[in-house]
Structure 1
Amino acid sequence: MNENARKVTRVWETENKILNPSKKEVLLDVVEQVASLFSAGPFYYYIINFEDVSMDYVHEGIKDVLGIQPEAFNVDKLFEIMHPDDLEVMHQKEGIATHFLLNQISVENIPDYKVVYLMRLRHTSGIYKTILHQTKALVMSHDGKIQKVLGIHTDMTHLNMPFDNKVSFLSQKLPSVHYKYTKSNYVLRQHYETEYTKRETEILELLSQGKTAQDISGELSISLLTVNTHKRNILRKSGAINTSQLVAKAIREGII
């Protein structure tokens, strides 16, 4: 393990040291449903146990996304296949994540947030994939630490998304928080202002579920012409070139 990888594990060990673990079991069928809701493309998920920084489970989708067998994936493997530039700032990303979750919000609100950022991981073919990395606490220890985390990795390579090192904390119940990476440091960007109207956000959510314009027309009781007009306006505001990229950007920003 190189020095940048050690910096990441030191963050976990110092900020999230578990002294009184919970014995709560995670139901994989429920986890899979949650993981699929968080994804907008080919994906896999995993459950990491911070008692010993091991993988409790790795979804077989990793074979399609990265060409890796589930049993071969662990934290060391993650660091090994991560793009060197991303690994260099990984300890800063995880430092901000642990500080926000463990120091800036109450323990009971930790499960309401998911941590989101981009990373590049190397496929067994040698090609780097752009991955939307999302994590969410599954099990809290009795001493208020994060014991088990659900991680979802969605392949965004085909969307040609601009790569950035922003770290976001997204919630459907509480205000979302964003940290922008500027000049090798992270700067708080508390509020994300969206130009989308309430109706446009509704349409975005339905598009993220794979609904067609015809489906949306029926579900919202509006004409197909109106749906397509909204879609054109949403694409213009977002700067996305197609619906897939639009949905990915909306998920990235926590709009849906």
Structure 2
Amino acid sequence: MKILLVDDHKIVRQILKEFLVEKLQGIEVDEANNGVEGFNKVKQSYYDLIIADINMPQKDGIQMMRDIHAYDPNLKVVALSMMDDQVSIKKMLQAGAVGYVLKEGNTQELLNAIQIIVNGNKYFSPNVAEVIMSSLTKNKTRSSGVKLTKREKEVLQAIFEEKSNQQIADELFISPRTVETHKYNIMEKTGARNLAGLVKYAIREKLFDDLFY
């Protein structure tokens, strides 16, 4: 597996590179100092995954993500940033990022995120997932006409927190079978099949517009 680290802090790149080389067998890690250098490397070589900071000189991670997505929409990019504000999350996801990990987390979380993403799924740190969930469950009337019930919103919150059916059932004082029913209804209403589908739904229906308010 070949990974590109894009961050303007050299010490961050060095620490992450040493950690990834130690933990992931057969991995190759390249580095870039900013979005311009990162995009140039993408055009010169193939990467299985790109891990990028957002706030960088010359070209930030969001613009780099847009350039990468236009160049090759199949390339996987995950944001690794201290920025947990709603606007940054919205812009990075709309640009095509498949994950968003906060630097306030630990290296094990990043490792988990990498393994999840390279297997074709998406990953979001818990605080990021809360922002996405909050946007999804706004009470505004949508063009799609989709409205979730209060209980469905509670189940959706738990889904973003990666809780099991039994944990959700215990927390909401309902049966696991009822949890399954609520999950089915949420997926039917949104047309999603999993967490990644819910995020795509939010972007498609412009639910992230709420993040500016």
Normalising by structure 1, report the TM-score: 0.37
Normalising by structure 2, report the TM-score: 0.43
Which protein is richer in strand relative to its size? 1
Whose relative contact order is higher, 1 or 2, with alpha carbons under 8 Å and at least 6 apart? Answer: 1
Which protein is richer in helix relative to its size? 2
